[in-house]
Structure 1
Amino acid sequence: MEIALILAVIAAIFIVRTFKIVPQQNAWVVEKLGKYDRTLTPGLKFVMPFVERVAYKHSLKEVPLDVPSQVCITKDNTQLQVDGIIYFQVTDPMRASYGSSNYVFAITQLAQTLLRSVIGKMELDKTFEERDQINSSVVNALDEAASNWGVKVLRYEIKDLTPPAEILRSMQAQITAEREKRALIAASEGRKQEQINIATGEREAFIARSEGQRQAEINAAQGEAAAITTVADATADAIRKIAEAIRHPGGMEAVNLKVAEKAVEAYAQLAKTNNTMIVPGNMTEVSALIGSAMTILKQRTPQ
């Protein structure tokens, strides 16, 4: 009975050490008699007991690694408290097993060293403006070194950049001054634009008024010209009609009669409006004019 139990235990140990189930996104490194033999991929695998053993187990997933905070000195001798995070992935399980005794620690230390070197080449203001450049520089240098360890460095991100309290106060004062400067510039630009708008409006209004006055004068001149033309046309038409009437028989006698009548009326008016009697210098002409008028009237009077 005891022998059967011992055999059962030995069989169980044999089975456990022989059959291995490797999870997805994992890789197990197998050594045979202390020497690297092969890498087990996901699934059910067989390992020879007592001769082969699983020496290393690696996850092939992307791994985030926090980089401890450290003090870095910029090019203009300003201290910065910097911390970040690295994302890496094991791409070669064999190299990850034998390339470094502790690749996680090696990546962390190298990231800190590279970060101090990159920030030391920049001034304080540039470190805030060029985070992407810092991240890219650290990733490129890390990836080149980590390739010997079977690790691919995917990204590095700076989580925080913290300058000393005195620098923070100075930066805040500078930001406040810049904002006040921008506000004053904006106000002056607004006043300038307001004056420009007012001047432009006055100019356009003056132009509009002058154009209106000019158009009014043009319209008045055109109206006056049209009136003069109309009067001239009417006068010319009247003259033509009078001339036409004179050319007909008796026309001239009618003209003479009209002239005589007007002359008599004029002398009569002069006598009424003045206490002094005005007598023509040549009474013969007046008598002849009146005689002509009477002769014309007798001729026109029916018998």
Structure 2
Amino acid sequence: MIAGINTDLIVLGIWGLIFALFIIKLFQSIRLVPTKSAYIVERLGKYHSTLDAGFHALVPFVDKVSYIHDLKEETIDVPPQECFSSDEVNVEVDGVIYISVVDPVKASYGVTDYRYAAIQLAQTTTRSVIGTLDLDRTFEERDVISAKVVEVLDQAGAMWGIRVHRYEIKNITPPETVKNAMEMQVNAERERRALLAKSEGDKQSKINRSEGIKAEMINLSEGEMQKRINEAEGKGEEILTIAKATAESIELMATVIAAPGGKNVVRMQLGAQYLKQLDGLSNGASRVVLPGNMMDFDHWMDSIGLEESKS
């Protein structure tokens, strides 16, 4: 009796486990796929379908979600690696890859691990590209290295179901000795530029100073020339004015002499001037020289007046 009860309990427990397992599988067969995701379903170990975003129901115990892919763009760090440039300098390079899954089926079955494969291919391509460049160009042509890595990864990505958007080099680290030499070179170049700038400044300063002196001398010479021109023009104007006044005086004198009584007026003026000259001689000397005959003065005046009238 007890053995029959135990057997019934065992059977009931087995059916309970089967029912619980069926319920679990039933719930597992219901899949809610998020946006920008893809589920790879296998039926009896063979690829069956790809589930896009939304609600999906699978066949319990038959269908299985084997791979889950995120279709959003993702970032993969490329670990640092040692590379040799064309001038035999060992540098350490690391970077980052931006990729996304475009074909979930190929990403599941075309390669075992597309992330690891992309990292390895990026490293090998980086080593090969840097091997063709010298050390200085590796710092200047990062875009060339990145473009080459993207090109190679795109070719492989077509078979892996991924798309490589870009590859960026984060760091290129040369050895410490090379870094010190580069720093010394940069400092020397900076000092050379400073000396060149200083010499250019001194040169420009001397040029400006000489041009200033030249301009000053030109201004002084032009001022002196203008001064002399003005003085010459002033003297010329003075001479012309004196000549004009003398001519007018002579013309007026001739008019006066030609007028009635003009001779007497001239005689009186000449006599007054003569006496004035005699008065000057008497002030500056102890003796005054007079004509022997003062009457001769009148005859001399008559002759002068006659000559003046004739002229």
TM-score (norm 1): 0.85
Distance 1:292 1:96 in 2: 146
Distance 2:302 2:275 in 1: 12
Distance change in 2, residues 1:264/1:36 (3 Å): same
After superposition, give the CA deviation of every residue in 1:228-275 in whole Å (9 maximum; x if it has no partner). 333333333333333333332222332233334444554675677474
SS of 1:143 mapped into structure 2: helix
1:80 correspondence with 2:91:
yes
Q: CA RMSD in A?
A: 2.9
Distance 1:242 1:278 in 2: 28
Please identify, of 35-44 and 230-239, the stretch whose mean Cα deviation from structure 2 is larger.
230-239
In structure 1, the partner of 2:138 is 127
Gaps of 5+ in 1: 294-303
Equivalent residues of 1:17, 1:48 under 8 A apart:
no
Distance 2:241 2:234 in 1: 10
SS of 2:207 mapped into structure 1: helix
Distance 2:68 2:220 in 1: 93
After superposition, give the CA deviation of every residue in 1:19-48 in whole Å (9 maximum; x if it has no partner). 210011111112233332321111111222
Distance 2:259 2:196 in 1: 93
Equivalent residues of 2:278, 2:288 under 8 A apart:
no
Distance 2:218 2:303 in 1: 68
Candidates 236, 246, 250, aligned match of 1:235: 246
SS of 2:59 mapped into structure 1: coil
After superposition, give the CA deviation of every residue in 1:41-62 in whole Å (9 maximum; x if it has no partner). 1111122223322121100111
1:54 correspondence with 2:65:
yes
Distance 2:181 2:44 in 1: 65
1:161 correspondence with 2:182:
no
In structure 2, the partner of 1:301 is none
SS of 2:64 mapped into structure 1: strand
SS of 2:49 mapped into structure 1: strand
After TM superposition, list the pairs within 5 Å mapping 1:216-255 onto structure 2: 216-255=227-266
Distance change in 2, residues 1:139/1:276 (3 Å): same
Distance 1:138 1:254 in 2: 126
Equivalent residues of 1:270, 1:278 under 8 A apart:
no
After superposition, give the CA deviation of every residue in 1:91-143 in whole Å (9 maximum; x if it has no partner). 11111111111111111111110000000000011111111211111111111
Please identify, of 118-127 and 234-243, the stretch whose mean Cα deviation from structure 2 is larger.
234-243
Distance 2:171 2:149 in 1: 15
Distance 1:161 1:123 in 2: 13
1:144 is displaced (CA, Å) by: 1.6
Distance change in 2, residues 1:110/1:277 (3 Å): same
Equivalent residues of 1:73, 1:116 under 8 A apart:
yes
Gaps of 5+ in 2: 1-8, 305-311
Distance 2:18 2:186 in 1: 81
SS of 1:249 mapped into structure 2: coil
Equivalent residues of 2:89, 2:135 under 8 A apart:
yes
Distance change in 2, residues 1:152/1:292 (3 Å): closer
In structure 2, the partner of 1:138 is 149
Distance 1:290 1:65 in 2: 135
After superposition, give the CA deviation of every residue in 1:268-291 in whole Å (9 maximum; x if it has no partner). 7567747484758x9986451367
In structure 2, the partner of 1:66 is 77
Hey, which bits of structure 1, 4+ residues long, moved more than 6 A? Answer: none
AA of the residue aligned to 1:183: A
TM-score (norm 2): 0.83
Distance 1:252 1:163 in 2: 123
Distance 1:10 1:268 in 2: 164
Distance change in 2, residues 1:267/1:150 (3 Å): same
Distance 2:28 2:301 in 1: 167
SS of 2:72 mapped into structure 1: coil
